[in-house]
Amino acid sequence: MEGYLMQAGKLQHRIELQRLTETLTASRKVQEVWTTYATGRAELRQAGLSEFLRNDVEGTTSNAVFLIRWIPGVSVADRITHDGKVWNIVAIAEIGRRRGLELRAVAA
């Protein structure tokens, strides 16, 4: 992916990046909720099972690769929402030097 050039026309899918945060309820109980911290456009590629098995992620049937412009702080503890579906991030690779991110994800 080092030589990959991001093309705006391929970033056709709207996504949200979410992080699990703790909030205090009115009854003073700690509650964990998913909070959106970034929204943007992504190129979506369906990933085959064999591609994920090479990266030691086993037992998944619905895999995808989201290519996005670089955002600092994205973590495998985060998740992606796209078109009403939730995806857990399992691997992150930087594209170029802060040009983009390749987010490998499995359906939640």
The pLDDT tens digits of the residues spanning 3-29 come to 556 677 788 899 999 999 999 999 999
Residue 53 confidence (pLDDT): 53
- When comparing pLDDT for 53 and 83, which is higher? 83
Cα gap 97→2, rounded to integer Å: 9
Ranges 5-9, 92-96, 98-102: which has the least confidence: 5-9
Contacts of residue 32, Cβ cutoff 8 Å, sequence gap at least 6? 20, 21, 22, 23
pLDDT for the residue numbered 95: 92
Beta-bridge partner residues of 107: 87
| Degrees to nearest 5, angle at CA 104 with 56 and 19 | 115
